[in-house]
Amino acid sequence: MQNVSTPYSKTGNLPPGKLSRWLTMLVMLLAGSAYQASAQAPYCTATYSSGCSSNDKIVNVTIGSINNNTDPNSGCASAYTFFSSQSTTIIGGLAYSISITSGYSGSENVGFFIDWNADNDFNDPGEFITGGVVGSYGTVTYNFTAPLTLAAGPSRLRVQMIWSSPAVSAATPCGSYSFGEIEDYAVTLVQPTPCAGMPFSANVAPAGPVISTCLGSNLTFNANGSTLGLNLTYIWQDSVAGSAGWNTLSSGGQIGPLAVTVSVDSTYYRHIVQCTNSSLSDTSNNMVLVVTPKPYYVPIPYVQNFESWMNFCNTTDKPDTSWVMSFPSGDRSWRRNDQGASASWSNATGGAYTPASTQGSYSARYHSYQPQTGNSIGSMMLHVNTLGGPAGDKALAYDVINLAGGTGLDSLKVYLSVDSGANFAQIDGIGITPGWVPRLLNIPANSRKTIIKFEGKGAFGNNTDIGVDNVRVLPACSGMPTAGTISPAGPVNTRTGR
């Protein structure tokens, strides 16, 4: 056999010396590429065989400028979601809090992780922050302090929910489980810098004026872009006048959004940043929330039998313009007894009571059978003008039903305010009833701005919802009362036999 040598050429094999150097360079190049690929590898995701199919899901995460709500009445397309547009800044050495809300009717294991060194995993010591158990439809809040030694730049926050077992821990961010969910969020890690000189408060956003027609609805304001650092205090305030009478709503060492519930009065809001080191502070613009139209304070006598409901902030969400609902939709909203679907009630047909009313065909119904939390409250408020007329207390009459079943913890409370809702006093409370029960109360009200609040409470206690019907607000009596006539007129013969 003839040995054939292949001479070196530009297109042939390399001679031994150059081949060795070429191989060395190739190994180094591949090693560098492998290291780069490892550093840029995507974050792992846990796998769930059933995921959110039974509403084992996270329905809210709040931390810093993140306040992310997801639909509590639906599952999720995937047991893993990266909310890349939801982000917040975390500064080393500062204290933070995070709240996690469950959409499940039982207990869930929850916890969260932060990739402090931005190496695309949650495996390093201290990156599992903490965890625990959240109750049925409940919210749990955890406090933590960001480490001083963090990698400045973009990174990742992970919130995890696991049903039954195991508990969320340093070992769980990439495992396999049955029911539950993972939500990831973008975070920017910042090296701490003590404040000095004049701090800066960004203006309140949205800039305003914000116009709201939905009393009881929830809005969120922020002051993103304010100075960040150590020894800073962030303060939210509100005022009805806007020029004086400022009330502090929150004050702390971490910047965050302000959640407000729209009330009757138009309100101003502002944000303040204070630097402890320099004793200087900066105040944002005054942002006004304008409420229009305001509820109509209906004159008395007033009667409401809940036969016809109007569209206001949602579909069929109030009986008339004198009523304000604390929730325009969802399981904590009131509806006509046959219109729960318009509020997107969970199990809208569940919890029905009979008979459906005491006057006409319909009543107002609170879905206590399917509460959002184990102590769920929703109100409907009647605005009446009780000024004038005969001297003396007015009368409030209404019918209520709250049938027995379960633990019997669901209830209805009634409150009175004579100063447009600034202060309320309880005037009635109802637990279990055998059926529809009439109530008659004397109310000490003589005000143009009287509010009567019916507050339903669901506590997983009863097998039916709470119903209210035939609401009447009547003036004080005057003159000669009328006793009426007994019917039948008689005489009535009740003798039996021969």
Q: What is the CATH classification number for the domain harbouring 310?
A: 2.60.120.200
The two tokens of residue 240 are: 């009805």
Query: What does the pLDDT look like over 413-467, one tens digit per residue?
Result: 999 999 988 899 999 999 889 999 999 999 999 999 999 999 998 876 567 899 9
Give strand ranges (E) for 195-301.
Answer: 210-212, 218-221, 232-239, 247-252, 258-261, 267-275, 280-283, 287-291, 298-299
Residues 326, 464 within the same domain: yes
Please tell me the total count of domains within the chain. Answer: 3
Residues 153, 252 within the same domain: no
User: Is residue 204 a part of any domain in this protein?
Assistant: no
User: Is residue 486 a part of any domain in this protein?
Assistant: no
User: Is residue 15 a part of any domain in this protein?
Assistant: no
pLDDT given at position 12: 41
Q: What is the CATH classification number for the domain harbouring 258?
A: 2.60.40.10
Residues 228, 316 within the same domain: no
Residues 394, 304 within the same domain: yes
How far apart are the C-alpha atoms of 80 and 66, rounded to whole Å? 18
Sign of CA dihedral 301, 305, 306, 308: negative
Least-confidence region, from 111-115, 358-362, 474-478? 474-478
Residues 249, 305 within the same domain: no
Domain-terminating residue out of 270, 291, 312: 291
Residues 344, 444 within the same domain: yes
Residues 275, 304 within the same domain: no
Domain-terminating residue out of 262, 291, 320: 291
Query: What does the pLDDT look like over 246-282, one tens digit per residue?
Result: 999 999 887 778 888 887 678 999 999 999 999 999 9
Residues 334, 352 within the same domain: yes
**Helix (H) and strand (E) counts for the chain?**
1, 30
| Mean pLDDT calculated for residue range 181-206 | 94
Residues 339, 424 within the same domain: yes
Residues 224, 88 within the same domain: no
Residues 232, 372 within the same domain: no
User: Is residue 368 a part of any domain in this protein?
Assistant: yes
How far apart are the C-alpha atoms of 205 and 224, rounded to whole Å? 8
User: Is residue 21 a part of any domain in this protein?
Assistant: no
Domain of residue 249: give its range.
210-291
Query: What does the pLDDT look like over 348-377, one tens digit per residue?
Result: 888 899 999 999 999 999 998 876 555 578
Residues 275, 312 within the same domain: no
pLDDT given at position 17: 42
